[in-house]
Amino acid sequence: MEKLLNEISSECKAAFSVNCDVEIELNIPENYKRNGDIGLPRVAENDLLRHFTNLSGKNYALSTTFYPLGSCTMKYNPLINEKIAKLDGFNDIHPLQPAETVQGALELIYNLEKDLCEVSGMDYFSLQPAAGAQGEFAGLLIIAKYFKSIKQKRTKVIVPDSAHGTNPASAAYAGFETIPLKSENDGTLSAQKVKEILTPDTAAIMLTVPNTLGVFEKEISEISKIAHENGTLLYYDGANLNALMGMARPGDLGFDVMHINLHKTFSTPHGGGGPGSGPVGVKAFLEPFLPVPRVENKNSKFVLNYKKSKSIGKLKAFFGNFPVLVKAYAYIKSLGGKGLKNASVQAVLNANYMLAKFKEKINVPAGNRCMHEFVLSPKSVLQNGVRTVDIAKRLLDYGYYAPTVYFPLIVEEAIMIEPAETESKETLDQFIETLDKIIFEEAVNEPQKVKDAPVNTSVKRLNEVEAARKPVLKWK
């Protein structure tokens, strides 16, 4: 007991002491030193604890509410993932340690690359990209360097209007000219129109399959054939792999390059700007161009190989967001092949169940069937000046995170809904009932209440333009 009391005493002294026994020379110029009190509030520990506990209670999280966020796959992150990522061998290492002291971590990276190849049909992966958009950028840099290596000048990338939103920016950032392609009335691409728009300087076609309307590209085999006959590569945006995992592989559909969002498909934390992970995968002929370092198995030891002369180089200070990689690996090994397939089957079932409930009342631009997500266009049923943004704000009052709205841009007043496989039928029914109530009751009988929403949240409706251009960044 005496030892325990001494420990508590020393901890308290360290926490509350205002004196320092060691003189530290900071060498801070006088004009940079503060002259007065910092002005922070002085509060008791219990008040501080209550403040942050109450703040956390106001946050939206998958542990408290349903995230119907289309194209972002807000699925549940199993606690076993967190437990595995906190193991000492993963949590207490440093990226600058010699490779021989982190063999377990390198082995996990090596094995995860193999698993992603099996799921996707690609031959090689790099886990270095820190987000899906960086994975896209890496893939396009690989494509650019490949054509340079075979002395072909190809400057254009075709991006359909139904592709994932970051595709045009990634192509432009990689130095390509973006060529838009309009989708058909059913949301799919016409292979004939793809053929007509192809030119000898087309480097790649970027496709999201299924696309942002939740529709599978039924002519994908023909599109792949047409592209390759032109010497054009096919890029797969993996944002919606959650709909295909275990059922179809992009590599088998003819894609040459792809990225995977581990923070979507493989159930690792997502949202709020990160952490993310966007591994880039390629067919064998593009392997020399992958980012360095590459994790390789040499005589039963794992090494980091920087000596890849054709590589696009390094994309990140260290090797990816490693804890995210650990969580994805835990997810894959927990579910196994059958479990991964079942996740996609359930995601598609949940989305089609919700679509069936809505399609008789609200316009569905892309037809009566979907993959893992679908897009509604309530423009024709909205009354009294109520718009999609008002519906989204009103959902906050009912404790729901709002779905993606006004995207894709090709759908007027779009509401994109993705329930993911981790939601129960009861949760889906409650959300359907709430959305119906807002659109068909409140917007008709109490339109101003919907236009003023949210009214139950701690922060009421903001002027979004002003909030974006003139953010308040100080606490008082």
Which pLDDT tens digit goes with each residue over 57-98? 888 888 888 999 888 888 888 999 999 999 999 999 998 999
Q: pLDDT averaged over consecutive 10-residue blocks of the chain (476 residues)?
A: 61 52 67 85 91 86 87 88 93 93 96 98 96 95 98 97 92 96 94 97 97 95 98 96 95 98 89 78 98 94 95 90 94 96 97 96 90 95 96 95 92 95 96 97 97 91 87 76
Per residue in 423-435, pLDDT tens? 999 999 999 999 9
Residue 18: predicted pLDDT: 47
Residue 428 contacts residue 354 (beta carbons within 8 Å): yes
Tokens at residue 184, please? Answer: 């058909």
CB atoms closer than 10 angstroms to residue 231: 15
Residue 271: predicted pLDDT: 62
Based on the number of CB atoms within 10 Å of its own CB, is 178 exposed (0-12), middle (13-18) or buried (19 or more)? middle
Residue 473: predicted pLDDT: 82
